[in-house]
C-alpha cells in the first residue's frame, strides 16, 4: 500500500480534500508508473471495463510502489473473493460499480474488512504485508471504499448509502447514470441527480467523485462539492492524441 501525506488525506465532516486522479484502462504498468510520475493523487485501475485481466493487476500495483499515488481498483462486481484478493495484492482501496442500496453498500464494507467488522479472510503472507515481512498488527490499514452511484435507484438511496460507515465516497458513473435515467424515463434530470448525490455525500462528511471527460467542467464540479475527480482515462487520452497528431499530419 502507498502511504500518502496525512495532510492531503485527512478528512472531517466539513472538509473533504480535493483529489485529482485518472482512470487506467489500458492495463499497462508503464502507464500506471507514468501517471504516478506525473503526480496524480490517485489512479483507478479498471477491472470492470478495462482491457487487461485480473492477473495483470499485481504488476500495475508494483509500478505505483514508492509513489504518493493511491491505487484504487474498480472491481467488476462486488464479489467478496475478488475484493479480498485485490486488497491482498496491495490496492489502497476499491471502487464498486452499481451500488444501488444500503444492503449492497454494507456488503462491500463487509467484504473489505476483517472480523469483527466484516468477513474478509486473513493472510499475513500476501503482497499487502510484504509477503509476511510487514505484519499488520492489531490495526491493519483501512481500505478506501468508493461506491458508484449509476442508476435512478442509487440516486434515490444516495443519502442512506452515504451514511453507511466504511463508505468513503460516492462516485458517479456519468455514462451509466445518463443511460439509466433515459431508459427508465426518469423525471429527474442528470444535473439534479448530480446535485442530490453531492449533497448526500456532504451531509455525511463523505467524499463525492465523478469521471470528468471535459476539463472545462472541473470548476463547476468543484463548486458543487465534488472532491474525487478522475480527469479522463489513459485510453481516451491516447486516442485523442493519435487523432490530433494524425489530423495535423494529413493537413
Catalytic positions, please? 49
Give the separation between CA 239 and CA 231, rounded to whole angstroms: 15
In this structure, which long-range contacts are made by residues 121-129, counting pairs with CB atoms below 8 Å and at least 24 apart in sequence? Answer: 121/84, 123/88, 126/88, 126/89, 126/90, 127/58, 127/61, 127/88, 127/89, 127/90, 128/1, 128/87, 128/88, 128/89, 128/90
**Three-state DSSP class for 196?**
helix
The number of CA neighbours under 13 Å toward the Cβ of 214 is 4
> Could you tell me if residue 35 is left (phi over 0), alpha (psi between -120 and 50 degrees) or otherwise beta?
alpha
* Grid cell at residue 53: 485481466
Task: Give alpha helix (H) positions in 67-173.
Answer: 80-88, 102-112, 152-156, 158-162
Cβ within 8 Å of residue 219, ≥6 positions away: none
Amino acid at each position: 500500500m502507498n502511504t500518502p501525506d496525512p495532510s492531503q488525506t485527512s478528512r472531517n465532516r466539513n472538509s473533504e480534500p480535493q483529489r485529482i486522479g485518472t482512470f487506467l484502462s489500458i492495463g499497462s504498468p508503464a502507464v500506471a508508473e507514468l501517471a504516478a510520475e506525473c503526480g496524480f493523487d490517485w489512479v483507478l485501475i479498471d477491472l470492470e471495463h478495462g482491457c487487461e485481466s485480473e492477473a495483470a493487476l499485481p504488476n500495475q500495483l508494483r509500478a505505483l510502489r514508492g509513489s504518493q499515488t493511491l491505487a484504487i481498483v474498480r472491481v467488476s462486481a462486488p464479489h467478496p473473493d475478488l475484493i479480498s484478493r485485490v486488497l491482498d495484492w496491495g490496492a489502497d482501496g476499491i471502487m464498486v460499480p452499481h451500488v444501488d442500496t444500503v444492503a449492497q453498500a454494507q456488503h462491500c464494507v463487509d467484504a473489505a474488512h476483517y472480523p469483527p467488522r466484516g468477513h474478509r479472510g486473513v493472510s499475513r503472507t500476501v503482497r499487502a504485508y510484504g509477503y509476511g515481512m510487514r505484519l499488520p498488527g492489531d490495526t491493519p490499514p483501512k481500505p478506501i471504499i468508493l461506491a458508484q452511484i449509476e442508476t435512478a435507484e442509487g440516486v434515490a438511496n444516495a443519502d442512506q448509502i452515504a451514511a453507511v460507515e466504511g463508505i468513503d465516497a460516492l462516485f458517479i458513473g456519468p455514462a451509466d447514470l445518463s443511460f439509466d435515467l433515459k431508459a427508465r424515463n426518469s423525471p429527474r434530470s442528470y444535473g439534479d441527480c448530480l446535485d442530490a448525490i453531492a449533497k448526500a455525500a456532504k451531509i455525511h462528511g463523505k467524499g463525492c467523485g465523478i469521471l470528468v471527460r471535459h476539463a472545462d467542467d472541473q470548476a463547476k464540479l468543484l463548486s458543487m462539492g465534488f472532491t474525487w475527480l478522475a480527469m479522463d482515462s489513459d485510453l481516451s487520452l491516447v486516442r485523442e492524441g493519435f487523432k490530433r497528431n494524425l489530423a495535423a499530419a494529413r493537413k
